[in-house]
A = this chain, B = another copy of it.
């Protein structure tokens, strides 16, 4: 029995326990380490097209590092050259709840998501189910207009990133 879950099993589990997630903020930095731009995925969701972070489940028997690495490769392609963090202590923790009206809403499940900032040095290509990967400067990311194009919960994490990096 491996980490794979049938759709029925996943549906069952999602109504029983919180899921472990990672949310990854891909960044490009200058030679001093200062963040120059942040990458957002563009994709079609139920509510239309929106922008979001690299995000996904931690599988049974998978380490957090492996999950970060797998989701970056899935969403940004195999040539993105991510520089994974030396520690798995997240810069913030996001709690998603399936309760309508929750500050961090996710209709699919209750998820506890560990959030990481990951510099990428290579080329990023959108995966099959995303339309594009776009890079935005801190100035653009601070605008309500761009934040309105994001899933509200991811916009909130983005504001935390900007604040954490001293860019808000």
Contact = CB atoms under 8 A, between A and B. Distances in A.
A112 B35 contact: no
A160 interface: yes
Residue of A18, A27, A164 most packed against chain B (CB within 10 A): A18
Contacts of A60: 15-18, 110
Interface stretch (A47-55, A88-96, A122-130): A88-96
A75 to B, nearest CB: 17
Contact of A164 (B12, B87, B90): B87
A168 B58 CA distance: 25
A32 B66 contact: yes
Interface string A17-58: 111100000010101111100000000000000000000011
A88 B84 contact: no
Interface residues of A, number: 57
B88 A166 contact: yes
Given A13-B16, A87-B91, 14 more contacts: A12-B12, A17-B57, A18-B58, A31-B84, A32-B84, A33-B83, A33-B85, A60-B110, A61-B110, A88-B93, A88-B95, A90-B90, A112-B112, A168-B168
18 contacts: A5-B16, A9-B16, A13-B13, A15-B60, A17-B19, A17-B60, A19-B20, A31-B84, A32-B65, A32-B69, A33-B65, A86-B117, A87-B164, A87-B165, A89-B93, A89-B164, A112-B112, A163-B164
